[in-house]
Amino acid sequence: MLPDMATPVFPQAIIARKRDGFVLTQEEIADFVRGVTNGEWADYQASALLMAVYLRGMTPAETSCLTDAMMRSGAIADLSSVPGIKVDKHSTGGVGDKVSLILAPLVAACGTPVPMISGRGLGHTGGTLDKLESIPGFRVDLPLAAYTAQIRRIGVAMIGQTAEIAPADRRLYALRDVTATVESIPLICASIMSKKLAEGIDALVLDVTFGRGAFMKEKSRAKELAAAMVAIGRAMEKPTRALLTSMDQPLGRTVGDAVEVIESIEALKGRGPADVMEVTFALGVQMLQLGKAASSCTEARARLEKAIADGSALAKFRELIAAQGGDPAVIDDYTRLPHAPLVRELTSPAAGCVTDVDPMAVARAALLLGAGRANVSAAVDHAVGITGLVKIGETVPHGGRLCTIHANDGTLLTAALKLLEPAFAVGRDPVEPPVLIDELIE
């Protein structure tokens, strides 16, 4: 008699069940992720299931199972040797969002370890890794052992996704990009949370943006995404909180790579734009509370402000740069960063109050200049970008500067200028700037 064998589960059977609206079992989801990771599932089969998920959705339990399976498709960092509660932050992205560069060393300077694995820019959103790599010598490709040792030594590391972390996500992310399934909330949740939970964190704070410059344009969709990720964190026994933040104009006054590094350093020196610091402090307050480094919002805010004022946050960023092979002298000498030779100001045709700054037009101009990438294989020009952006609610004189363009190519500069001209609106009546921090979900 032949021994009992488990009935094989064929990909087409799992695809058909999700296509027909059934809830997938933990075993079926695990089989899918395992097959994606080891190549047993062909791209066309994985793509078919992704589309079925996009059309049929997933229950919270299915999404948690998918996240867990993707997290376990590779290594999970062991940070148990690092004292304290390890807390990370993740943003769904936007235009001019350089908060991570400020927040990671700031929170670490307050005594809460920050293990951060970030991504590269794609489309209209900039990438933390691209910005860090504009610092000469800065390495984002640390292996997990070096990442762990650095967090133990200085309390912070900022790296890219390694080959060891959630390998299933890399393949699925590429397939989602070419199968028009990127917007699926269960798939977004599993992609983000599998990587974050594999970092070895104890808690997580999410910055979920909404508005014209965000991935999620509608607040209701952003809230749905935030609530789903918080639920996954809770299911995984990792305390998770999410802030909904508005992205209806660029964050800060710069968009690019090296130019955003400069603005981040200025922020750590106590000279950051008000909107950037508002978001940074709001997220930092949540991180310190989850890390048990502060018992109240008031105490947490005071600790963050003190770390800026006494220079400890800036010193931590200097230490981080040196630890990852970068040139820490950029903190004192911005000329050591890449800079573009062609500089042109866009000026206002009328005096009045700035009533609008279209974040997508600014993002498209920066992308055209080379500051971002239209596809994953495109190169990034770290030197180019846009600086001196005016903010909604500010007044400008006739001929006053609306922004400054930094380019390496005259033709691209002219084209970017044309994109930017309609991005700004100036009116006679004063307007209030948009509210940035909308809601906390915990």
Q: What is the pLDDT of residues 364-386, one digit of tens each?
A: 999 999 998 777 677 899 999 99
Active site residues: 90, 169, 176, 191, 195
Alpha helix (H) ranges present in 98-143?
99-109, 128-133
Coil, helix or strand at residue 403 = strand
The fraction of the chain above a pLDDT of 70, given in percent, is 97
Which DSSP letter does residue 374 get? S
Q: Domain spanning 87-331 has what CATH number?
A: 3.40.1030.10
pLDDT band at 9 (very low <50, low <70, confident <90, very high): confident
Helix 26-38 crosses helix 43-56 at what angle (to 10 degrees)? Answer: 140
Tell me yes or no: is domain 11-57 CATH 1.20.970.10. yes
Task: Supply the pLDDT for residue 68.
Answer: 96
Domains 11-57 and 87-331 share a fold: no
Task: Supply the pLDDT for residue 6.
Answer: 47
225 has a pLDDT exceeding 80: yes
Task: Supply the pLDDT for residue 4.
Answer: 39
Rounded to whole angstroms, the Cα distance separating 405 from 255 reads 10
Burial readout 204-228 (b: 16 or more C-beta within 10 A, e: otherwise):
bbbbbbbbbbbbbeebebbbebbbb
Phi-psi region at 45: left, alpha or beta (left = phi > 0; alpha = psi -120 to 50):
alpha
Stretch 283-291: mean pLDDT = 98
Q: pLDDT tens digits for 184-224?
A: 999 999 999 999 999 999 999 999 999 999 989 999 999 99
3 has a pLDDT exceeding 90: no
Task: Supply the pLDDT for residue 292.
Answer: 97
Task: Supply the pLDDT for residue 127.
Answer: 87
Task: Supply the pLDDT for residue 122.
Answer: 64
120 has a pLDDT exceeding 90: no
Class of domain 338-427: alpha beta
| Residue 27: closest CA among 53, 54, 8, 46 | 8
Backbone φ, ψ for residue 273 (5° rounding): -60, 145
Task: Supply the pLDDT for residue 373.
Answer: 78
Task: Supply the pLDDT for residue 1.
Answer: 34
The overall average pLDDT reported for the chain is: 94
pTM of the model: 0.93
CA-atom Rg of the chain in angstroms: 22
Could you state, in order of their start, the residue ranges of all structural domains in the chain? 11-57, 87-331, 338-427
